[in-house]
Amino acid sequence: MTVRIGVIGTGMIGEEHSRRITQQLTGGEIVAVSDVNVEQASTVVDRLKLDAKVYESGLELIKADNVDAVLVTSWGPTHEEYVLAAIAAGKSVFCEKPLATTAEGCRHIIDAEIEAGRRLVQVGFMRRFDSGYKLMKEAIDTNRLGEPLMVHAAHRNPEVPERYVTPMAIHDTLIHELDTFRWLLDDDYASAQVIFPRKTRHAHSKVEDPQMILLETTQGVRIDVEVFVNCQYGYDIQCDVVGEDGIARLPEPQSLIFRQAGQRYNEILQDWKKRFGEAFDVELQAFIDGAAAGEICGPSSWDGYAAAIASDACVKAQESGQIEAIEMPERPAFYG
Ligand SMILES: NC(=O)C1=CN([C@@H]2O[C@H](COP(=O)(O)OP(=O)(O)OC[C@H]3O[C@@H](n4cnc5c(N)ncnc54)[C@H](O)[C@@H]3O)[C@@H](O)[C@H]2O)C=CC1
Ligand SMILES: O=C1[C@@H](O)[C@H](O)[C@@H](O)[C@H](O)[C@H]1O
């Protein structure tokens, strides 16, 4: 069975995901696209030579009879409405992170999914599909490090546009780490604090950059994350898990080592497209296969919600300058 997919939001990642579904993956076909910028949607259809109808409204696309499954790749604040509409239509939906920009928005999605009676939502936390992070997870799960005690991490982007403002360092950027560490450590968060070091001259006026986020889990693991979104030099994701019996470091992406002009060096990737290219392939193939089988797996709405609860606490901590408590409600049996 070919899964007929409708894509809402044909910006950078919407186009990337449409390209990989069309040119690399199996079992899926893009039959419909939509974007508030209709011209943008038409351009992507032309550029990728898609046999797809352009819809002026994402909600109309979701209702279309020939759309089996939906990809939501529009801006974060629009996700909740589209995911809820897909659930109401009984269609599988892959939603890029964040599932919603607040925990309250995610809760609406959870309530609707439980009401629908089966899992329909996969959240785009692609790091869970990255080979390096999977090795780390295996090392932790097989107790090679002993009990995890601390995590040191960094999330660096070369630069961000004007519309990227201070809270986005949390709900757009740190949200990846907030999901990853819950999954790696099989734990939830107990508190969060945000510290603003001296601001880089490369940041525009509406974003504090860099930021240091300090998290504590319910098991007492301490986590520090540097979010630095105008670091200039590249897209750089770092993670060390320190355990009782050893330390595991996330592998660097494979790259050539040059000896040239009196220097030995290797290049650093510049964006998420290449850094997590293989992980995107695996996550989207899992979505297509899940939609075909009627069994969506991978990061769930509950994972999106849990990350958003922590994200809300971090945004509050940005404003208060205090350590903010994080309380997770009990996970419904529906989410295993
Ligand atoms: N997993 C990852 O590493 C990444 C995830 N993302 C996520 O993907 C989403 C999109 O990000 P980008 O592609 O970078 O942004 P973008 O700005 O390049 O594209 C977003 C598109 O959504 C469209 N849009 C905005 N409001 C809409 C609405 N109400 N209905 C339909 N379309 C609408 C815009 O016109 C634009 O074409 C965001 O949630 C972002 O956090 C983005 C980059 C990497
Ligand atoms: O998801 C992503 C972007 O939306 C976000 O803005 C970046 O900070 C992240 O590095 C990237 O992975």
Q: What is the pLDDT of residues 29-45, one digit of tens each?
A: 999 999 999 999 999 99
Residues 141 and 210 in one domain: yes
318 & 177 share domain: yes
Query: How far is the C-alpha of 290 from the C-alpha of 95, rounded, in Å?
Result: 14
Task: Write down the pLDDT at residue 224.
Answer: 98
Residue 244: pLDDT over 90: yes
For residue range 158-167, what is the model confidence (pLDDT) as tens digits? 999 999 999 9
- CA 142 – CA 279 distance, rounded (Å): 22
Gap between the Cα atoms of 94 and 13, Å rounded: 13
Residue 207 to residue 166: CA distance in whole angstroms: 4
100 CA from centroid of ligand 2 (Å)? 15
Ligand in closest contact with the CA of 299: 1
Q: Across all residues in the chain, what is the average pLDDT?
A: 97
| pLDDT at site 14 | 98
| Domain that residue 163 falls in | 130-269+308-335
Structural domains of the chain, count? 2
- 10 plus 107 within the same structural domain: yes
For residue 178, which amino acid is it?
L
Nearest to 173 by CA among 243, 121, 131, 231: 231
pLDDT tens-place string over residues 265-305? 999 999 999 999 999 999 999 999 999 999 999 999 999 99
DSSP character for 127?
Answer: G
Mean pLDDT of 55-82: 97
Residue 91 shares a structural domain with residue 180: no
Percent of the chain, pLDDT > 90? 99
Cα 178–chain centre separation: 10
- Contact at 8 Å (CB) between 159 and 106? no
Q: Are strands 222-228 and 148-156 parallel, antiparallel or unpaired?
A: parallel
Shared-domain flag, residues 15 and 51: yes
Examine the pLDDT at 187 and tell me if it is beyond 90: yes
First to last CA, the chain: 28
Both 216 and 315 in one domain: the answer is yes
pLDDT at 202 over 90: yes
Q: Looking at the structure, tell me whether residues 123 and 145 fall in a common domain.
A: no
Ligand 2: does its nearest atom lie under 6 Å from the Cβ of 272? yes
Residue 188 sits in the same domain as residue 200: yes
DSSP-based three-state secondary structure for 22: helix
Ligand 2 centroid, distance to 1 Cα (angstroms): 33
Its sign, for the CA torsion 21, 23, 27, 28, is positive
Are 288 and 245 within one domain? no
Give, using CA atoms, the residue closest to atom 22 of ligand 1: 74
Statement: residue 47 has pLDDT above 90: yes
Do 326 and 203 lie in one domain? The reply is yes
Q: What is the CATH number of the domain that holds 324?
A: 3.30.360.10
CATH of residue 99's domain is: 3.40.50.720
- Give me the interface pTM, i.e. the ipTM: 0.98
pLDDT of residue 33: 98
Same domain, 259 and 327: yes
| Ligand 1 pocket check for 78: Cβ under 6 Å | yes
Quick one: 15 and 110 in the same domain? yes
Burial of 70 (0-12, 13-18, 19+ CB in 10 A): buried
Centroid of ligand 1 to alpha carbon of 14 (angstroms)? 7
Band (1; pLDDT cuts 50, 70, 90): confident
pLDDT at 109: 98
